[in-house]
């Protein structure tokens, strides 16, 4: 019985977090670190925490916070605790700050910004790295009229080692690290300090974040040690570049993830794309959410930055569309159809089941928006086609349309194979044996454009009455 207790304390519950700052929208890079954190927690039966780092009052907005939460929900990256807001934890930070001042691991610094700027300039001129020289370290008397900042007293000898799950051992000489500001002169704590206290308080076991934070890590470890806390494990994931391998920016469409939703991407496809950006599992390209959870290992993530590849995302989206059940696909598609101007009531009124339409469209759609565009004509009888299509395919084709109507009207059933036989027959008599000769005019007549699912399947779905009505109407467009 005793051994059991040891195991439990040894194998701590995994606790990871995603900690975005609400100064902008949730973008691709953020989503990937969120995904990795989530995956790591889920595969270990751990806890995933959402924390909003909103201490930058100037730039944080409520809209950004809302967009982040909505994005996470849309992606299905569900969190077990939070969202926590740093602004609501100020009392706690002040308490820790006071303790550090008391213990002497932090001290007041009265240097003015101007003074510091001069100091840095001199250092730069000498070719040194600009860093605080610790001139207030031993000051005991306050300077009247100046509200001091609080600095962390960092060790000036030895080294701090980061055992990174992705990068391996990374060593930093302590003399390279200066005494950083952990509280501003107005008393508010700074980022590096809040992160440390939060990760500590929240019992985070693995900090998974962008590798732009790797340089901050030794200082965070030092603060944690000064606090008597055991540092968590770290995993610094590389950043994502634009398709041109330049830093990801708005120009690349690297905007809010919610735009991917608008553009008709499936969340599982986006997640699949992102998980493979910097990580691989043999030759497997397509992963379900469950497969990702099972196969992903944070330690297998690549060290190098990777470029965003929109074509591959599109391909993966198509792959995931292929794999959905008709009924599920229809449910996913419905909002996009609505956005394309086909409300739910009209779908019901038309009597053409959406799952069936989705089934015939799935092979040729890369996004749900594509699919909605392709599905529209089933529910909305097309207007007279414009320009080329009308001239090229309908001009002078009234006899053909009439023949088709006669043939289809005479059919006893209304199944695709029977319809196909009629079309085949028509091709023999009016198309020189070539289905292509007659299919295009009929397609344009019925769908309003030169692209649609196979004609027999399309007509079967439209129904006899609607097909004949559309052919009759199109006969008026043949001049």
Which one from 5, 250, 366, 437 is the annotated catalytic residue? 250
Cβ proximity to RNA: between 46 and 266 the closer is: 266
Long-range interactions of 341-348: CB distance < 8 A, separation 24+: 341/376, 341/380, 342/372, 342/375, 342/376, 342/379, 342/380, 346/379, 346/380, 347/379
Shortest reach from residue 349's CB to RNA, in Å: 26
Strand pairing category for 240-241 and 233-237: unpaired
Shortest reach from residue 1's CB to RNA, in Å: 37
Cβ proximity to RNA: between 46 and 444 the closer is: 444
Please provide the DSSP assignment of 278-332 as one string. T--BTTB----HHHHHHH--GGGS-SS-EE--HHHHHHHHHHHHHHS-HHHHHHH
Could you tell me how many residues make up the chain? 479
Strand pairing category for 47-52 and 15-18: parallel
Read off the tokens for 142. 């306050």
Shortest reach from residue 348's CB to RNA, in Å: 26
Shortest reach from residue 328's CB to RNA, in Å: 18
Q: How far is Cα 298 from Cα 327, in angstroms, rounded to an integer?
A: 35
Cβ proximity to RNA: between 117 and 344 the closer is: 117
Q: How far is Cα 381 from Cα 470, in angstroms, rounded to an integer?
A: 7
Shortest reach from residue 3's CB to RNA, in Å: 31
Shortest reach from residue 93's CB to RNA, in Å: 11
Are 190 and 182 a contacting pair, CB within 8 Å? yes
Cβ proximity to RNA: between 233 and 338 the closer is: 233
Cβ proximity to RNA: between 263 and 338 the closer is: 263
Task: Give the angle subtended at the CA of 192 by the CAs of 186 and 193, to the nearest 5°.
Answer: 60
Shortest reach from residue 375's CB to RNA, in Å: 13
Are 184 and 191 a contacting pair, CB within 8 Å? no
User: Strand, helix or coil at 16?
Assistant: strand
Strand pairing category for 149-152 and 181-183: antiparallel
- Residues paired with residue 247 on neighbouring β-strands, in sequence order: 241
Residue with tokens 């809040």: 194
Name the helix (H) or strand (E) containing 74.
Answer: helix 62-75
- Residues paired with residue 171 on neighbouring β-strands, in sequence order: 161
Per the annotation, the verdict on 366 as an active-site residue is: no
Residue 217: partners with Cβ closer than 8 Å, 6 or more residues away: 162, 164, 170, 234, 236
Read off the tokens for 411. 């059919």
Q: How far is Cα 392 from Cα 321, in angstroms, rounded to an integer?
A: 33
Read off the tokens for 33. 């670190």
Provide the annotated active-site residues. Answer: 250
């Amino acid at each position: 019985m005793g051994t059991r207790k040891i195991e439990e304390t040894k194998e701590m519950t995994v606790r990871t977090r995603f900690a975005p700052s609400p100064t902008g929208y949730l973008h691709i890079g953020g989503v990937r670190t969120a995904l990795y954190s989530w995956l790591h927690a889920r595969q270990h039966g751990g806890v995933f925490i959402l924390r909003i780092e909103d201490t930058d009052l100037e730039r944080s907005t409520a809209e950004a916070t809302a967009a982040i939460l909505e994005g996470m929900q849309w992606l299905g990256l569900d969190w077990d605790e939070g969202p926590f807001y740093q602004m609501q934890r100020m009392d706690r930070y002040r308490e820790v700050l006071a303790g550090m001042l008391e213990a002497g691991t932090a001290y007041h610094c009265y240097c003015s910004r101007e003074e510091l700027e001069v100091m840095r300039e001199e250092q730069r001129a000498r070719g040194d790295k600009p860093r605080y020289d610790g001139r207030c370290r031993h000051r005991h008397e306050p300077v009247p009229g100046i509200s001091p900042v609080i600095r962390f007293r960092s060790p000036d000898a030895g080294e701090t080692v980061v055992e990174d799950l992705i990068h391996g051992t990374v060593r930093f000489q302590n003399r390279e690290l200066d005494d950083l500001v952990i509280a501003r002169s107005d008393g508010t704590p700074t980022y590096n300090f809040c992160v440390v206290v939060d990760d500590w308080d929240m019992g985070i076991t693995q900090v998974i974040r962008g590798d732009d934070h790797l340089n901050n890590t030794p200082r965070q470890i030092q603060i944690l040690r000064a606090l008597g806390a055991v540092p968590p494990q770290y995993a610094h994931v590389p950043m994502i570049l634009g398709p041109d391998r330049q830093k990801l920016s708005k120009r690349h469409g690297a905007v809010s993830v919610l735009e991917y939703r608008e553009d008709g991407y499936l969340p599982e496809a986006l997640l699949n794309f992102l998980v493979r950006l910097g990580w691989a599992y043999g030759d497997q390209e397509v992963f379900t959410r469950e497969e990702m959870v099972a196969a992903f290992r944070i330690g297998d993530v690549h060290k190098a930055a990777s470029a965003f590849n929109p074509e591959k995302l599109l391909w993966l989206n198509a792959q995931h569309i292929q794999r959905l059940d008709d009924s599920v696909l229809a449910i996913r598609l419905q909002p996009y159809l609505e956005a394309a101007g086909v409300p739910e009531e009209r779908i019901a009124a038309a009597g053409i089941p959406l799952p069936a339409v989705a089934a015939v469209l799935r092979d040729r759609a890369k996004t749900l928006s594509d699919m909605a565009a392709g599905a529209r004509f089933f529910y909305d009888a097309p207007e007279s086609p414009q320009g080329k299509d009308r001239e090229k395919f309908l001009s002078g084709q009234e006899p053909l349309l009439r023949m088709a109507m006669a043939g289809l009207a005479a059919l006893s059933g209304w199944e695709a194979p029977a319809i196909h036989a009629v079309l085949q027959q028509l091709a023999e008599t009016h198309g020189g044996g070539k289905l292509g000769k007659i299919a295009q005019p009929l397609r344009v007549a019925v769908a309003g454009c030169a692209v649609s699912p196979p004609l027999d399947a399309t007509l079967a779905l439209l129904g006899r009455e609607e097909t004949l009505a559309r052919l009759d109407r199109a006969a008026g467009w043949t001049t």
